[in-house]
Chains A and B, each alone.
Chain A
Amino acid sequence: MRHLKILEYALSSLWRRKYKNMAIILVYAFTIAVLASILFLTHALKTEASFLLAEAPELVVQRVSAGRHELIPLEYGDRIRKIPGVAEVHPRFWGYYYDALVEANYTLLEANADHTPLEMLDGHLPAAPGECAIGSGVAAVRKIGPGDDLILVDSTNMGIVFEVTGVFRSPSDLLTNDLVILDRADLIEFFGTPPDLATDISVRVNNPKEINTIAEKIKRQMPDSRPISRSEILRTYAAVFNWRSGMMLSVFAAALVAFCILAWDKATGISAEEKREIGILKAVGWETSDILELKFWEGMAVSLTSLLLGLLAAYVHVFFLGATVLTPVIKGWSVLFPTFRLIPFIDPYQILVIGFLTVPPYVASTVIPSWKAAITDPETAMRG
Chain B
Amino acid sequence: MSEGQIKKFMYVNRKAPHGTVYALESLEVVLIAAAFDQDVSLAFMDDGVYQLKKGFNTKGLEVKNFQPTYRALDDYDVNKLYVEKEALEARGLTEDDMVVPVEVLSRTEIGKLMETQDVVLSF
A-B interaction: no
